[in-house]
Chains A and B, each alone.
Chain A
Amino acid sequence: MSTMVIKNGSVFDPLNGIDGEVMDVFIKDGEVVGELSGSDLKRAEVIEARGKTVMPGGVDSHAHVAGAKVNAGRLMRPEDHIGSVRPRTEITHSGSGYTVPSVYKQGYDYSAMGYTTVFEAAMPPLEARHTHEEMRSTPMLDMGAYLVLGNNWFLMRYLHEGEIDKAAAYVAWMMKTHKAYGIKCVNPAGVENWGWGKNVHSLDQPNIHFEVTAREVIRGLAEVNERLGMPISLHLHANNLGHPGNWEITRDSLAVPGDVGPDQKMGVEWAETKLDPHRAQSVYLAHAQFNAFGGTSWRDFESGAEGLAKYVNKVDHVVIDNGSVPFGPATCMTGDGPSIHDLYVLAGIGGQKWSNTDVELECGSGVIPFTYLKANPISAIQWAIGLEMLLLVDDPWKTIMTTDHPNGGVFTQYPQVIAWLMSRRARDKTAAECHKWGYDRSSLGGVEREMSLFEIAILTRANAARTIGMAYQKGHLGAGADGDVTVYDIDPEKFDPNEVEKIVRAFGRAEYTIKDGKVVARQGEVVAVPEARRYYCEPQVDEGLTEDMLADVKGWFKYYTIGFENYPVPDKYLRNPEPIVINGPQGGR
């Protein structure tokens, strides 16, 4: 099998406490190893990385990259594809699309930036087949998908009745049935109301028919999550998303599982790390930017990031990703159907195209094209909030950098976001081009902080991996980790954070993207198309409990448009599946 040495690079490996140390990274048979034997060294492929930055392969813990709503975005937007075309090469497919690229282009574009692992942020159970079909066709990336469960009829009933054991059995069965990785909770209790043209606007407002509150759903799912011992904590898309003043309900939502301790019970082998690779959080807030709005209306709209960041600083059970707004075209897509309708009403002067879907007994979804303009006061504030949410939270181990692709922006804009995080001058320059509300109605203008390469490595790989429970083999370069390594053309010795174009270029086109010990992209060009893994969880629960739960499920299955036998995703939908046994006999930390 193959061996590789990445020689003399400046290594940034936060989970192992390595901050720019010049050293070699060794890979054997696709895994990072502490050293290589003499004979292995002799035949090893050598990557000379002197004067370059070496990081673990990038991990995106929240992006909309596969499934029905992504495809609805593609179908809805031929104009998104005409100007963004990628020709085929000897080893790659052609592809097109800017905000919603085709699966092939998506995989290649991520790889060009040094990312090797991407998780789909919202998979409705009924759309699991479609999601897996798209993931199966996505090259270059290891992937998994979070299952949307915050408005699920069976769970709302169980949680309202306090049947936490049955709820856990149901979630366990659903993970196995749909080959899903984690629990996603979108606008808890509210999307169900949207089926009646309504929403919920407080944590304690019971919804229609189920009489369950957002508080009960958040609390219940967090408990279920830790009772099962899932790799990722509850992943929350909070209520009132996109509404002025929503930062308060966001803070209160995060407080709900405050006393639920994190407890991963994964039957996996943990690669070596200096820091604890287990997640520390019991709730992971998605795209904080969209839920850190201040003011009471669009007239007195302002950033609410300071208040939310203050809360995150104070507690230890929360991780956020920010959902940056780097300006330009976006396609908003979410399981939060009503929020898309609100956006349509807001931006819909002139009859914008949009779509909305009710996913039977499970959830909903909406898609709308949207353009963030620097001249627009709201967009300018959203840009500021996105950066504030990362810069005002002191501990980088509580933050992850995303654009909530393609909601706030496109994943190919990550390098620009990195430049803003690293350079105050870059932020000032953009603020000067923006509507003045950007700085006037946020605290961003007073933020001096400039992130280091070490912190960027935390926000784009180490913490993303740890937060979602992948740090057992991703997000670091300890012995036993996957041989996923990125070499960027950045010399930390000569690094100047104010050279924005240089930063954007370097992070946009990795010098080398190495996956499982093989160079897969060189200076942004795909040179090999590796096999990629599809992760999902197999939580183990009491069989008797499962039988009781299934009797309930079958009782209501008549409300579905499909038969019970056709509900599960068959194995053939996954190439290279990597089931993770949870809560099994060998499990535990």
Chain B
Amino acid sequence: MVLIQKVKLSPKGEIGIMVEAESISPDSFAGKSESDLCEIAVWQGPREAKLAEFFEIESWDEETTDDGDGTAEILIDGDVSRVKRIGQRMTKGRIEILGSAGMHLGSEMAGGEIRVKGNAGPWAGMNMRGGRLEVGGDVGDHAGSAYRGSWRGMSGGKILIRGNARSQLGGGMAGGEIVVEGSVENFCGIRQNGGLILVGKDAVRGVGAEMTGGTIAVLGKIQNFTPGFVQAGSERDPALGDRTLEGKFSKFLGDYAISKNPKGVLYVQEAVI
């Protein structure tokens, strides 16, 4: 039995200019009293504001059998799609969001867990190093990708997207795992050099462009196949890490446009091709 700090944030109403709130994180909440939490600084445009301006805040300790990492658990019981950077750089604890979240959710997170019932904006899980990020709905562009200009992206942790993702999912990915149950748009796994991306449905184009390592599997249809990939046989029920894909898959290596000896692997279901 351990004591765990629980914090409930209830959005007070509509937010105009988006709020930047990397301070909404178990790391910064841990050990703070309710009144301290109210004073936590967030930014709205050029203006520094207090967390209590946007949220009703309740905090209490609870006994739990979950041995977890025993710090703070944050419940946001509403829509925060106009709040950015929730859980940025978090290393432990848990955040649960009952509505949708704004941009940069869990970006650069290194540990702990974030679960969103609704959607998440662009850059969710950017440069993620560890932990777990689960989105019940859709995510915007650049989920699990490297920062703009960088070729070294997500290096660890897991991202699960129950809905669809947009473009540049897992760009520059070097490690970890991204699972999208729905479809992706353009350049999924661009410049990927490690890790695993699994797409449950379809992709538009540019899958694995400039990829040099790691694995992508697309269970649905790829509208425009990336030209720099070469077929390297087919496999039945291929094993990807601790998971097995069911069915017969064509295996491709690429991207030959960028390397003479690329180690990127792309699996596509033969029944769909």
List A residues at the B interface (Cβ < 8 Å).
Answer: 76-80, 82, 349-353
Interface-central residue, B149, B210, B257, by most chain A CB under 10 Å: B149
Can you name the residue of chain A whose Cβ is closest to the Cβ of B261?
A349
Do A78 and B151 touch across chains, with their CB atoms under 8 A apart? Answer: no
The contact string, 1 if C-beta is below 8 Å from chain A, for chain B 82-107, is 00000000000000000000000000
Flag whether B162 is at the interface (Cβ < 8 A). no
Do A76 and B258 touch across chains, with their CB atoms under 8 A apart? Answer: no
Do B149 and A349 touch across chains, with their CB atoms under 8 A apart? Answer: no
The contact string, 1 if C-beta is below 8 Å from chain A, for chain B 188-201, is 00010100000000
Flag whether B168 is at the interface (Cβ < 8 A). no
Q: Hey, which chain A residues are within 8 Å of B149, CB to CB?
A: 76-80, 353
Can you name the residue of chain B whose Cβ is closest to the Cβ of A352?
B151
Do A351 and B210 touch across chains, with their CB atoms under 8 A apart? Answer: yes
A566 to B146, CA, bound (A): 43
Shortest Cβ distance from residue B183 to the other chain A in the assembled complex, whole angstroms: 26
Do A350 and B147 touch across chains, with their CB atoms under 8 A apart? Answer: no
Q: Hey, which chain B residues are within 8 Å of A77, CB to CB?
A: 149
Do B150 and A350 touch across chains, with their CB atoms under 8 A apart? Answer: no
Shortest Cβ distance from residue B190 to the other chain A in the assembled complex, whole angstroms: 10
Flag whether B47 is at the interface (Cβ < 8 A). no
Do B148 and A79 touch across chains, with their CB atoms under 8 A apart? Answer: yes
Do A79 and B146 touch across chains, with their CB atoms under 8 A apart? Answer: yes
Contacts A/B (CB < 8 Å), 13 sampled:
A76-B149, A78-B148, A79-B147, A79-B148, A79-B150, A80-B149, A82-B147, A350-B151, A350-B191, A350-B212, A350-B259, A351-B191, A351-B258
A79 to B257, CA, bound (A): 24
Shortest Cβ distance from residue A222 to the other chain B in the assembled complex, whole angstroms: 41
Can you name the residue of chain B whose Cβ is closest to the Cβ of A351?
B258
Do A350 and B148 touch across chains, with their CB atoms under 8 A apart? Answer: no
The contact string, 1 if C-beta is below 8 Å from chain A, for chain B 222-263, is 000000000000000000000000000000000001110000
Q: Hey, which chain B residues are within 8 Å of A352, CB to CB?
A: 151
Can you name the residue of chain B whose Cβ is closest to the Cβ of A349?
B259
A198 to B150, CA, bound (A): 31
Q: Hey, which chain A residues are within 8 Å of B193, CB to CB?
A: 350
Q: Hey, which chain A residues are within 8 Å of B147, CB to CB?
A: 78-79, 82
A351 to B255, CA, bound (A): 10
Can you name the residue of chain A whose Cβ is closest to the Cβ of B211?
A350
Q: Hey, which chain B residues are within 8 Å of A350, CB to CB?
A: 151, 191, 193, 210, 212, 258-259
Q: Hey, which chain B residues are within 8 Å of A78, CB to CB?
A: 147-150
A351 to B191, CA, bound (A): 9
Q: Hey, which chain A residues are within 8 Å of B148, CB to CB?
A: 78-79
A79 to B151, CA, bound (A): 9
A351 to B148, CA, bound (A): 16
Do B212 and A349 touch across chains, with their CB atoms under 8 A apart? Answer: yes
A589 to B259, CA, bound (A): 59
Q: Hey, which chain B residues are within 8 Å of A353, CB to CB?
A: 149, 151
Shortest Cβ distance from residue A333 to the other chain B in the assembled complex, whole angstroms: 16
4 tightest A-B contacts by CB? A79-B150, A78-B149, A351-B258, A79-B149
Q: Hey, which chain A residues are within 8 Å of B212, CB to CB?
A: 349-350
Q: Hey, which chain B residues are within 8 Å of A351, CB to CB?
A: 191, 210, 257-259
Task: Tell me which residues from 141 to 155 in chain B have a Cβ below 8 Å from any Cβ of chain A.
Answer: 146-151
A352 to B148, CA, bound (A): 14
A77 to B148, CA, bound (A): 8
A139 to B191, CA, bound (A): 39
Q: Hey, which chain A residues are within 8 Å of B146, CB to CB?
A: 79
A82 to B193, CA, bound (A): 22
Can you name the residue of chain A whose Cβ is closest to the Cβ of B255?
A351
Q: Hey, which chain B residues are within 8 Å of A349, CB to CB?
A: 212, 259
A82 to B258, CA, bound (A): 27
Other contacts beyond A76-B149, A80-B149, A349-B259: 9, CB < 8 A: A78-B147, A78-B148, A78-B149, A349-B212, A350-B151, A350-B210, A351-B210, A352-B151, A353-B149
A352 to B193, CA, bound (A): 13
A78 to B259, CA, bound (A): 25
Can you name the residue of chain B whose Cβ is closest to the Cβ of A82?
B147
A82 to B153, CA, bound (A): 14
A80 to B149, CA, bound (A): 8
Q: Hey, which chain A residues are within 8 Å of B257, CB to CB?
A: 351
Q: Hey, which chain A residues are within 8 Å of B210, CB to CB?
A: 350-351
Q: Hey, which chain B residues are within 8 Å of A79, CB to CB?
A: 146-150
A79 to B191, CA, bound (A): 15
Task: Tell me which residues from 125 to 163 in chain B have a Cβ below 8 Å from any Cβ of chain A.
Answer: 146-151
Shortest Cβ distance from residue A74 to the other chain B in the assembled complex, whole angstroms: 10
A82 to B152, CA, bound (A): 13
Can you name the residue of chain B whose Cβ is closest to the Cβ of A77?
B149
Can you name the residue of chain B whose Cβ is closest to the Cβ of A83?
B147
Can you name the residue of chain A whose Cβ is closest to the Cβ of B150?
A79
Interface-central residue, A82, A349, A350, A352, by most chain B CB under 10 Å: A350
A351 to B147, CA, bound (A): 17
A351 to B256, CA, bound (A): 11
Shortest Cβ distance from residue B153 to the other chain A in the assembled complex, whole angstroms: 10
Can you name the residue of chain A whose Cβ is closest to the Cβ of B260?
A349
The contact string, 1 if C-beta is below 8 Å from chain A, for chain B 201-225, is 0000000001010000000000000
Can you name the residue of chain B whose Cβ is closest to the Cβ of A76?
B149
A350 to B193, CA, bound (A): 9
Q: Hey, which chain A residues are within 8 Å of B191, CB to CB?
A: 350-351
Shortest Cβ distance from residue B154 to the other chain A in the assembled complex, whole angstroms: 14
Shortest Cβ distance from residue A349 to the other chain B in the assembled complex, whole angstroms: 6
Can you name the residue of chain B whose Cβ is closest to the Cβ of A80?
B149
A80 to B147, CA, bound (A): 10
A82 to B150, CA, bound (A): 10
Shortest Cβ distance from residue B212 to the other chain A in the assembled complex, whole angstroms: 5
Q: Hey, which chain B residues are within 8 Å of A82, CB to CB?
A: 147
Shortest Cβ distance from residue B137 to the other chain A in the assembled complex, whole angstroms: 27
A76 to B151, CA, bound (A): 12
A78 to B151, CA, bound (A): 11
Can you name the residue of chain A whose Cβ is closest to the Cβ of B213?
A350
A132 to B248, CA, bound (A): 63
Shortest Cβ distance from residue B152 to the other chain A in the assembled complex, whole angstroms: 8
A353 to B146, CA, bound (A): 15
A229 to B191, CA, bound (A): 53
Interface-central residue, A77, A351, A352, A353, by most chain B CB under 10 Å: A351
Shortest Cβ distance from residue A343 to the other chain B in the assembled complex, whole angstroms: 16
A266 to B148, CA, bound (A): 49
A511 to B258, CA, bound (A): 50
Can you name the residue of chain B whose Cβ is closest to the Cβ of A371?
B152
A352 to B150, CA, bound (A): 10
A349 to B210, CA, bound (A): 10
A352 to B152, CA, bound (A): 11
Task: Tell me which residues from 170 to 198 in chain B have a Cβ below 8 Å from any Cβ of chain A.
Answer: 191, 193
A349 to B149, CA, bound (A): 17
A82 to B88, CA, bound (A): 14
A76 to B148, CA, bound (A): 10
Interface-central residue, A76, A79, A352, by most chain B CB under 10 Å: A79
A394 to B191, CA, bound (A): 48
A79 to B126, CA, bound (A): 12
A59 to B143, CA, bound (A): 46
A548 to B193, CA, bound (A): 60
A350 to B149, CA, bound (A): 14
A80 to B210, CA, bound (A): 21
Q: Hey, which chain A residues are within 8 Å of B151, CB to CB?
A: 350, 352-353
Can you name the residue of chain B whose Cβ is closest to the Cβ of A350?
B212
Shortest Cβ distance from residue A503 to the other chain B in the assembled complex, whole angstroms: 31
A77 to B152, CA, bound (A): 13
A350 to B211, CA, bound (A): 8
